[in-house]
Structure 1
C-alpha cells in the first residue's frame, strides 16, 4: 500500500531519492505530488516535496479522468471565444459525447503569431490577431502561467489534459506551474485537432456580432458573415478585452455590473538582481533557476491595495493592445525563462463603488482613457510602436533638473520610449504605487534600484464589467440560455481558473441535455 510523505525538505545539493530511501528503505515507484522552493532568509534555499511512494513490488496508478458519454443531443451548444474557458468547455463537451460549435474572431494560433510579430516589429496592429485576441486567448502570451488560488475539483483534469496535448509533465506538481509561451503554442494546435476530430465545429475569423433572443430567452448567435446558428445554450467566453461584445450585451439589456479590478505599471529588473535578492549567495546555483517574487501592500485606512501580478521570471515585456489608438503592456516568459530580465505588473486596486458609483462602465472608461493617453504620449514624443517607459528612480522622485535618466536596454520586442509615467497615471494611482514600491523595498531589499524601469499601461488584469449570472444555473440572471464564462465575464482570474469555469458550465449544460 502506498504512503504519502508531506513537507520533505531536500537541500539543493541533495537528491530526493536518497531521502526516500531513508524514509522507506523498501520502496517501489513514487510520484511527486507537489514541489516548491523555500528560500526564506532563516535558512539556505531548499526544495519542499509531497510524495506518494508505493511499497516494493507495487505500482502507482495514474489518474485517468475517464468521462461518461451521454446520448448525443439534437442541438449543439455554441461557444464564443477560444481562450481557456472556451477551449476547455469544448473539450469537456466532446469528451462527454456532445458535439459543439466554437467561434473565434481571430485566426488559428499559427496565423495569429504572424499578426503579433508584425505589430511588434512594425507597429501595424491586427485588431483580430494580437496578444489578447485569437486562438488561445490572452493566456497564449502570458507564458501559460497556471497558478491559481481557486479550489476546484477540475484542476487536476485541466493539468492532465494540458500534459496530454504536450505541456511539460511537471505542471502537475510544481507550486508555480507554467507551460511557457513557446511551448503553449505547440499545445493549442494539438488540442484544436482533437476537438475537430471528436465533434467540435470550429469557425476562425468569425466574430459573433449578435446574441439572438426570443423575448429574454437566448436562442442562438449571428456572425459577422450574417450566418445564424441556433441553440438554447450559448457560452460567452470572449475574454477581458472584448469591449464590443460588452457593449452589445448592454444594448440587448443583459444585466451587467461594474466590477472592481486593478491597473498600474509593469516593472522590469535584471533577473540576476532578483536572483541575488531571493537566493543570496546561492543565486547562480543551476538547480534554482530564475527566481520569482510575490509582493503586496494593503492600506488599512483606505482599503487600497498595491500588489505584484503576473510575475515573469526570465521574461519579456509585451505591447498588448487591441485598439490602434491605445497602448497596453503585459508580460510573458518562455519555458526556460532564460531572458536576462524579470518583470511583473505593479497594480493598484480600483474599487468600483468608491470611484464610479452607479456607472457600470466607469472602469472601462478609465481603462480606455489611460491606454489612449499612453498612445498619444508616445506619438507626441516621436514614437510609433514603442511602449512608454521610465526609469524607476524618476518615477519615484520625479525627473531631476538634469533631465530624465536614460532608459537602459530592455526586453520589449516593441522597444520603449522615455515618457513621464508618473504624470500619465492619475495622481492617486501614482502616489499609491510609490508607497507600495517603498514598502516592497523594505521587504525585498534591493527591489528599488536605479537600474530598474517601469512600463505602461498595465490595464488588462481583468475585465471591469461582470456579466452577472445565477449562482446555481450559471446562466445570465436576465437572459436564460446565455452562460457568461471566464475572465471576460468576471468569473475567473487566469488560465486555470478560466478553464475550470468553462468545464463547470459545460457540465451544467450536459446535466440539462441528459
Structure 2
C-alpha cells in the first residue's frame, strides 16, 4: 500500500534527501501538495514548504489519477454554450469526454487576434466592444494573471488541473498550492483546448453574439438567435457569459428569468515596486529563490460591518485597463509566468452590499452602481488626458487628501494621470480604503508609502447578480433547459472555480439527457 505523509521542510532543504533518510528503500514518490509558508520571514524566521507526498515501495504502483469516460453519444439536440471563457470551455470539454458534441458561441475573436485589438486599445484608445480584456476567446481569465487559486472543495478541481497539464501547463500545476500559469502561458493553453474541441467535433463560432435566448410558451429553452440572423434550435443553453456581459443581463431581465442582486466589492489597484513587497514579506531572505512575494490582507470595521481586503494579488505583474464600454474605465491586474515585472499589484476593495449600498427595486442596480463609477473615471480621464489614461494617486497623498503633484513610474500600458480618487469613488468606499490602508500598514510596516500608487477604479470583482438555479439540476429556477454557469451567473470567482462550475453543469446535463 502506498503511504501518504505530510511534513515540513525549510525552503533550502532537499526533498529527496529527506525522503531517503526517513523512508529508506522507497521506489518512487509523487507530490500531492507543496505550499510555501513565508509568514515571519520578515522577522527572521526561515520560510518553509508544507508537503503532502505519496510514497510507494518496490512492487507497488500509484493509483491512476485519471477518470474513465463511457461513450454516451450526442444529445438529441446539440447544446449551445454561450461564452468561450473557462466555464464554457470546460463545460464543452467535459461533454466531449463522453462523446457529446456542443456548439460554442463567442462574441469575440480567437486569442491571438483578440490580443491585437487590446494592444491598439491600450496604445491608441481604439476600443472594440467585442474584443477586449473581458471578451473574446479565453474570457477575462486570459488577462487575470493565470492564477488557479481556489477555495472551493470539489472532486473536479483535480480534473481541471490535470487537463491544464495535458494541454501544456507545467507538471507542478497538478499539485502545487496556489498554481500560477501566467497570462502568457494560459493564452497558449486556451488555443490548444479550443483546437481539441474542434477535433472532437464541436463547433465554435467567433465574432458573433447571442441576441436572444428563445423560449417556448412554457418557458422551456427552444434555441438562440444570433446577431448575424441565424437561429440555432436546442433544448439546452449554457449561460457562461462572464461577469461583464451586460447585454445578457438586460435580456434575461426582459425575459423574466429568475435573478437576484448580490454583493460584490469595489475599490482600486495598489501598485508597489516588486522589490518593496519582496522585502516586506521575505526580510533577510529576499535574495533567496522564493519567487515574487504575495500577500493577503483583510480589515473589518465592526461598527458599519464593512470589509476591506486585498484581492487578485499579482506579484511581478501589471495593471491593465480592462473596461468593456467605450465610455468607462476599469482596472485589473495580471502577471506573466515568470512574474518578473518590476512591479507588484493587488486590488484593494471594499464590500458593497445589496439592499444597503444600492436599492433592490431593480435587480440590475448593482450593475448601474458599477457603471456610474466607471463613467466618472472615464470622464475624468477625458477632461485631464485623452480618455485612455487611468486616474491615479500616490497612497500617502490619498490618505492626506492631496492631489499628487507627480506620479511614479507604473506598469500600466495605458498611461496614468494625477487625480483625486475620492471624486470617482463613493465616500464609503474611500473611507473603507483609508481605514484598510492604515490597518495594512500596521500588519506590513511600509505598505503605505508615497512611492506606492493607487489606480482606479476596480469595479468588476464579481457579478452584480446571481442568476438563480436549482442545486439539484443546475437549471434556471424559472426557465427549464437554461443553465446559468460560472462567474457571470454568480457561481464562481476565478479561473478554476469557473472551470469547475462548467464541469458541474456538463454533468447535470448528462444526468438529465441520458437518465444516469
Q: Tell me the TM-score normalised to structure 2 length.
A: 0.97
Q: CA deviation at 1:125?
A: 0.8
Q: CA deviation at 1:422?
A: 2.5
Partner residue in 1 for 2:114: 112
Residue in structure 1 matching 2:50, options 37, 48, 70: 48
3-state DSSP of counterpart to 2:487: coil
Separation (CA, whole Å) in 2 of partners of 1:278 and 1:62: 38
3-state DSSP of counterpart to 2:357: helix
Aligned pairs for 1:238-257 within 5 A: 238-257=241-260
1:287-314 deviations in Å (ceiling 9; x for gaps):
x010000111122222211110000000
1:410 aligns with 2:410: yes
Partner residue in 2 for 1:340: 342
CA contact (8 A) 1:394 1:405 kept: no
1:17-74 deviations in Å (ceiling 9; x for gaps):
1111111011111111111111122721122211111113534344122222213322
Residue in structure 2 matching 1:314, options 309, 313, 316: 316
3-state DSSP of counterpart to 1:483: strand
Count, aligned residues: 509
Separation (CA, whole Å) in 1 of partners of 2:12 and 2:113: 44
Partner residue in 1 for 2:233: 230
Partner residue in 2 for 1:368: 371
Q: CA deviation at 1:419?
A: 1.3
Partner residue in 2 for 1:512: 512
Separation (CA, whole Å) in 2 of partners of 1:386 and 1:68: 53
Q: CA deviation at 1:508?
A: 0.7
Aligned pairs for 1:97-496 within 5 A: 97-215=99-217, 216-286=219-289, 288-359=290-361, 360-399=363-402, 404-496=404-496
Structure 2 residues not aligned, in runs of 5+:
none
3-state DSSP of counterpart to 2:272: strand
CA contact (8 A) 2:350 2:432 kept: yes
Q: CA deviation at 1:322?
A: 0.7
1:11 aligns with 2:10: yes
- Between 1:130-139 and 1:359-368, the stretch displaced more is 359-368
Q: CA deviation at 1:12?
A: 2.3
Separation (CA, whole Å) in 2 of partners of 1:174 and 1:340: 25
- Between 1:469-478 and 1:485-494, the stretch displaced more is 469-478
Separation (CA, whole Å) in 2 of partners of 1:69 and 1:106: 32
Partner residue in 1 for 2:98: 96
Separation (CA, whole Å) in 1 of partners of 2:174 and 2:350: 31
Aligned pairs for 1:58-97 within 5 A: 58-97=60-99
1:225-259 deviations in Å (ceiling 9; x for gaps):
11111111100000000001100111111121111
Separation (CA, whole Å) in 1 of partners of 2:109 and 2:141: 15
CA contact (8 A) 2:278 2:286 kept: yes
Q: CA deviation at 1:357?
A: 3.4
3-state DSSP of counterpart to 2:392: strand
Separation (CA, whole Å) in 2 of partners of 1:475 and 1:64: 28
Q: CA deviation at 1:88?
A: 0.3
3-state DSSP of counterpart to 1:264: strand
CA contact (8 A) 1:391 1:405 kept: no
- Between 1:497-506 and 1:58-67, the stretch displaced more is 58-67
Separation (CA, whole Å) in 2 of partners of 1:379 and 1:34: 49
Q: CA RMSD in A?
A: 1.2
Separation (CA, whole Å) in 1 of partners of 2:83 and 2:492: 15
Aligned pairs for 1:19-58 within 5 A: 19-41=18-40, 43-58=45-60
CA contact (8 A) 1:367 1:459 kept: yes
3-state DSSP of counterpart to 2:368: helix
Separation (CA, whole Å) in 1 of partners of 2:259 and 2:11: 51
Q: CA deviation at 1:405?
A: 3.6
Separation (CA, whole Å) in 2 of partners of 1:340 and 1:299: 33
Separation (CA, whole Å) in 1 of partners of 2:170 and 2:129: 31
Separation (CA, whole Å) in 2 of partners of 1:71 and 1:102: 18
Separation (CA, whole Å) in 2 of partners of 1:331 and 1:17: 37
3-state DSSP of counterpart to 1:384: coil
Separation (CA, whole Å) in 2 of partners of 1:289 and 1:225: 48
Separation (CA, whole Å) in 2 of partners of 1:358 and 1:40: 42
CA contact (8 A) 2:358 2:369 kept: no
Q: Tell me the TM-score normalised to structure 1 length.
A: 0.97
1:198-244 deviations in Å (ceiling 9; x for gaps):
12111001100100011111111000011111111100000000001
Structure 1 residues not aligned, in runs of 5+:
none
- Between 1:165-174 and 1:448-457, the stretch displaced more is 165-174
